[in-house]
Amino acid sequence: MAIKSYRDALNEAMHREMERDARVFVCGEDVSGGAGGTSGEREASGGIFGVTAGLLPRFGEGRVIDTPISENAIVGLAVGASLAGKRGIAEIMFADFLGLALDQTMNQAAKFRYMSGGKATCPVVIRAPYGAGMNMAAQHSQTMYQIITSVPGLKVAMPSNPADAKGLLATAIRDDDPVVFFEHKALYGRKGEVPDGDYLVPFGKAAILNAGDDATIISMGRMVVFAEKALEGLKASGVNCDLIDIRTSSPLDEDAILDSVEKTGRVVIVDECPPRCSVAADIGAFIASKGFSSLRAPLELVTAPHAPTPFAKELERAYVPSPAQIDAAVRRVVSYR
């Protein structure tokens, strides 16, 4: 075990997988940076968030590809190469820009397997930094994973901590299906223990981060960190909960969710997206249909409001679900009679 940041854990996973498998390559805007610059420094960037640093010096320009600003073609580059036998990792600088690459993502990558009657494989990974909390306003803060989760054919991961970041990304790269991999921008600096060597976290397997009988908190990505914060206060006042980090929204670990709901009967789902068609709504509908008989309180969904992400820091702070909102929601379900 080593203490590493989420950023470095992701970086390590790419280093290891590129070392292990010569078919793996990385492409995106400024993944190395410096191409065509006047300083002569070829790795002038290493990714705008530094996640791809060191890959160019190690693996060279053939496998670490700086692209023009052309998101649909960036994803297409990785998708097409993956259909032809390579394993492309496309970095979309901000998840919001998936909007420009939705054709290659949802009409192409997602559907080849099905439309070819199981003949095609498209082992592509699309990495997408997401999330609010950095005052980047409405076009640089969205979660986007709710839209991608709704598309059959795509797998969706969103790690909440460095160990999962490494293990889930390695799994994504080795997976034969297209994966859209969501990294929370505000988590890049988060440090934690990361297993050494080969480390894989399976898709569709939730992590139970805390065990308690009073309620079930289900969450993903950065909201897991907020749920952990809320739990500290709840525990201090004698309320203890299961905390489930789904880790992948597609596939979803339905068993882990139902097992916990059966035990507690009281559920809070915390999701950074606006409420409509959110992952919270999706999981809520699943629980309402498959776990109805266990429920002892109405579901509580803690989400952002139905509005774009505001710029002003006071507004953004209130917009993003907070530990205080999670705390209040848990107390509501626990006290419901």
Partner 1 sequence: MTSQQSRDQLLGAYRQMKMIREFEERLHKEIMTGEIAGFTHLYSGQEAVAVGVCAHLEADDLIVSTHRGHGHCIAKGCDVKGMMAEIYGRSTGLGKGKGGSMHIADFQKGMLGANGIVGAGGPLAVGAALSAKLDGKGCVAVSFGGDGSVNQGAVFEAMNMAVVLKLPAIFVIENNGYSEHTGADYAVGSKDIAGRSAAFGMKSIKADGSDYFAVYDAMGELLDHARAGKGPCVAEFETTRFFGHFEGDPQKYRAKDEVKRHREEMDSLKIFRAHVLNDRLLDETALDAIDADVLSLIEEAVSEARAAPPPQLSEITTDVYVSYP
Catalytic residues: 140
Residues 55-94 that bind partner 1 (CB under 8 A): 66-73
- Minimum CB separation of residue 70 from ligand TPP in Å reads 9
Residue nearest to ligand TPP (CB): 97
Asked if 90 and 97 touch (Cβ cutoff 8 Å), the reply is no
Question: The sheet that has 24-28: what strands, in order across it?
Answer: 64-66, 24-28, 87-91, 125-130, 179-184, 155-157, 248-250
Answer for which of 17, 66, 71, 175 binds ligand TPP (CB under 6 A) is 71
Beta bridge partners of 218: 244, 269
Question: What length is written for the chain?
Answer: 337
Q: Which stretch binds ligand TPP (CB under 6 A): 50-58, 75-83, 92-100, 221-229?
A: 92-100
Q: Which residue matches tokens 């139905």?
A: 306
Tell me if 50 contacts partner 1 by CB under 8 A: no
Q: Which stretch binds partner 1 (CB under 8 A): 32-40, 161-169, 228-236, 326-334?
A: 32-40
DSSP state of 276: T
- Minimum CB separation of residue 55 from partner 1 in Å reads 15
Tell me if 189 contacts partner 1 by CB under 8 A: no
Answer for which of 140, 166, 222, 331 binds partner 1 (CB under 8 A) is 140
How far are the Cα atoms of 47, 74, 135, 136 from residue 186, in angstroms, in the given order?
15, 24, 11, 12
- Minimum CB separation of residue 319 from partner 1 in Å reads 5
DSSP state of 100: G
Measured between alpha carbons, how far is 194 from 165 in angstroms, rounded to an integer? Answer: 9
- Minimum CB separation of residue 84 from partner 1 in Å reads 21
Q: Which stretch binds partner 1 (CB under 8 A): 37-45, 150-158, 251-259, 285-293?
A: 37-45
Four-residue CA torsion sign, 70, 71, 74, 80:
negative
Tell me if 277 contacts partner 1 by CB under 8 A: no
Long-range interactions of 313-321: CB distance < 8 A, separation 24+: 313/135, 316/132, 316/133, 316/135, 316/141, 319/132, 320/132, 320/133, 320/272, 321/223, 321/226, 321/270, 321/271, 321/272
Tell me if 36 contacts partner 1 by CB under 8 A: yes
Answer for which of 13, 93, 230, 301 binds ligand TPP (CB under 6 A) is 93
Four-residue CA torsion sign, 236, 241, 247, 250:
negative
Answer for which of 2, 3, 22, 69 binds ligand TPP (CB under 6 A) is 69
Tell me if 182 contacts ligand TPP by CB under 6 A: no
Four-residue CA torsion sign, 65, 67, 71, 73:
negative
238 Cβ neighbours under 8 A, 6+ residues apart = none
Q: Which stretch binds ligand TPP (CB under 6 A): 93-101, 121-129, 252-260, 310-318?
A: 93-101
Q: Which residues bind partner 1 (CB under 8 A)?
A: 29-30, 33-41, 44-45, 48, 66-73, 96-97, 99-100, 134-140, 305-308, 310-315, 318-319
Q: Which residues bind ligand TPP (CB under 6 A)?
A: 29, 69, 71, 93, 97, 100
